Structure 1
Amino acid sequence: MPRNSPHMQANVGAVASTVPQEQRAQRDARHDRLFSWLLKGCALLVLACLLGAAGATLWGGRHAFGTFGWHFLVSATWDPGSDTYGALVPVYGTLMTSLIALIIAVPVSFGVALYLSEVAPPWLRTPVASAIELLAGIPSIIYGMWGLFIFAPFFADHIKPWLTNYLGNKPDDGKLSWVAQHTFLGKLFGSDYPFGASILTAGIVLAVMIIPFISSVMREVFQTVPTRLKESAYALGSSTWEVSWDIVLPYTRSAVIGGIFLGLGRALGETMAVTFVLGNAMQLSPSILDPGASIASTIANQFSEAAGLQKSTLMALAFLLFVVTFFVLLIARWMLRQLAHKEGR
């Protein structure tokens, strides 16, 4: 066969084209491996930072854990003069303020998200949604100053007297209401403290802070519901509430729970806003109208002047806050997995 025949030229061209393709495939595979290693390094870096923060706080609080043992978790004593410390008051304050914030914020956030996604006219949705996103970006110290100078005095003058007189066991006229006599609300809303700083005040301020976060997440996931599902429900005669409760919420249940726990994580670790309005009293009281303390506010108030065992105790509190937040997020993941299992995913 002649060298310059068309068949020979085609074979040479095929071989020549095969070589660059193999080189390109090897190069792409090498780049894919590098990209995979880079992503794995980023993930491991986050994990290393997480473990490093937990290990640093645990190592810093080892002296407190070794001195007080498990009694540190159940003791309400906080006496720097005798170097005796307990974590019960800060842990209780952290959990109570976050729980109050969640009880207030979740229904309000659900209503806001539902209004913006299902009820509000189109010309109003964008401005209100932008305002909510702006509220999420306000620094926490601004909320704390608002709570200290505006909301706490208003709470002490108008809301707290009503709660103590009609729900608490320490009314101004000395006459206990039926609610205070026959329910646990008497102790929960009974207080002699005259000022507005309290666990309830801190919980309300935290609720105002986390409402933009939760409502933004809910609004985004509500908008992912297929329009055909909602239109089919409306065509069958369902009301807006029925469509929202039976169609929208079940479809986005997992994401809604994730958004709620995202707001809860923000509330658990909040420092400045809580420090302004909580009262920072290291005393355990059954009343949410009395001042209290949280883990974050205790660390912020005392760490600059702490030394020795007190400093180790504050580091131990930081580790406890890490543990509490970790378990909250773990519960959230467990709930999401259970929901996914029920939905057959």
Structure 2
Amino acid sequence: MTALLVLMLLGAIMATLAVGALPVFHQFGWSFLSGRDWNPVSGSFGALPAIYGTLVTSFIALLIAVPVSFFIAFFLTELCPQRLRGALNGVIELLAGIPSIIYGMWGLFVLAPLLASHVQPWLSHWLGHVWGLGALMQGPPIGIGLLPASLILAVMIVPFITAVMREVFAVVPPTLKEAGYGLGANTWEVMWDIVLPYTKVAITGGVMLGLGRALGETMAVTFMIGNANNIDIGLFNSGNSIASVIANEFAEASDPLHASALITLAFVLFVIAFIVLVLARALISLGNRHQ
């Protein structure tokens, strides 16, 4: 019965978003998803810049957060002294509980000036002339843009992914590790050749949990992404995400078509999250089949 209620709630959310999106699809059709112009004054709406910003920031954040989370979990489970382990676990749990708006304010007042003064000039100096990377370093030196938003997202999802990895690493049977050590493997080899293959299914779930958090994050991204409807390869150029567009404009959307466009963006974000969930389940099923 409880599972049925959950399915009914999910169906009600989808139906509400779909009904709210009908005016936009009647007006623009599927070109709404590929349109690049977002101008509420002229009644022109295109979702592609927001979709682009959401996907780019989320996947860059994932590329940064997964290795960092792995090494933190590796240290906590294999190398960290017992007295220090409890304190570090508490810090990770505290980071997971900090509201996103606090992360956004920290990013705007601390991280952005640091990036503008030190990191961006250094990256532009050393990578700006490298073929294929120079275009990625483009953007005004203000510490706000796609990469800064990705960095703040990475900081936010590291505690979630680390917590999952830490727990699954801790439940690996000690006999498996002891067998590896008995064969002459060192700590890193045991982790890479025994622990990771044993826990890859659960790790996939943790990574997808972090991706889901990154896709739907609102306030921190709104502070850091620049809030401009651009599609640009430069990682320091301003952009937009679906969540930031909705947060910035929904309260002032007096025009029905404008409100419908924002609801349609929410529906698109819902679909993206659903696709991520389906891919996660497929990866987990594939992993279970090969174990």
Measured against aligned partners, the alpha-carbon deviations of 1:110-142 in whole angstroms (never above 9, x if no partner) come to 000011011111111111111101110111111
Q: Hey, what does 2:274 align to over in structure 1?
A: 326
Q: Which moved more, 1:194-203 or 1:87-96?
A: 194-203
Q: Hey, what does 2:183 align to over in structure 1?
A: 236
Alignment of 1:54-133 (within 5 A): 54-133=14-93
Measured against aligned partners, the alpha-carbon deviations of 1:146-186 in whole angstroms (never above 9, x if no partner) come to 00111011111111122223323xxxxxxxx2x1xx32x22
Secondary structure of the equivalent of 1:44?
A: helix
Task: Give, in angstroms, the shift of residue 244 of structure 1.
Answer: 0.1
Q: Quick one: which amino acid aligns to residue 64 of structure 2? A: I
Quote the Cα distance in structure 1 between the aligned partners of 2:286 and 2:153. 29
Secondary structure of the equivalent of 2:235?
A: coil
Quote the Cα distance in structure 1 between the aligned partners of 2:105 and 2:127. 29
Quote the Cα distance in structure 2 between the aligned partners of 1:325 and 1:288. 23
Task: Give, in angstroms, the shift of residue 316 of structure 1.
Answer: 0.2
TM-score by length of 2: 0.98
Q: Hey, what does 2:165 align to over in structure 1?
A: 218
Q: Quick one: which amino acid aligns to residue 196 of structure 1? A: G
Matched, 1:148 2:87: no
1:167·1:190 contact (CA, 8 Å) conserved in 2? no
TM-score by length of 1: 0.83
Quote the Cα distance in structure 2 between the aligned partners of 1:206 and 1:102. 8
1:210·1:267 contact (CA, 8 Å) conserved in 2? yes
Q: Quick one: which amino acid aligns to residue 195 of structure 2? A: V
Q: Which moved more, 1:323-332 or 1:52-61?
A: 52-61
Alignment of 1:1-345 (within 5 A): 41-168=1-128, 177=129, 179=130, 182-183=131-132, 185-191=133-139, 193-306=140-253, 307-343=255-291
| Greater radius of gyration (CA) | 1
Quote the Cα distance in structure 2 between the aligned partners of 1:84 and 1:164. 36
Paired-residue identity, %: 54
The CA RMSD over aligned residues, in Å, is 0.9
Task: Give, in angstroms, the shift of residue 54 of structure 1.
Answer: 1.3
Quote the Cα distance in structure 2 between the aligned partners of 1:51 and 1:295. 21
Q: Larger relative contact order (C-alpha < 8 A, sep ≥ 6)? A: 2
Secondary structure of the equivalent of 1:125?
A: helix
Secondary structure of the equivalent of 2:134?
A: helix
Q: Quick one: which amino acid aligns to residue 243 of structure 1? A: V
Measured against aligned partners, the alpha-carbon deviations of 1:258-304 in whole angstroms (never above 9, x if no partner) come to 00000100000000111111110012212111010000000000001
Task: Give, in angstroms, the shift of residue 92 of structure 1.
Answer: 0.4
Q: Quick one: which amino acid aligns to residue 232 of structure 1? A: A
Measured against aligned partners, the alpha-carbon deviations of 1:193-251 in whole angstroms (never above 9, x if no partner) come to 23111010000000000000000010001011011110111111101111001111111
Quote the Cα distance in structure 1 between the aligned partners of 2:138 and 2:125. 8
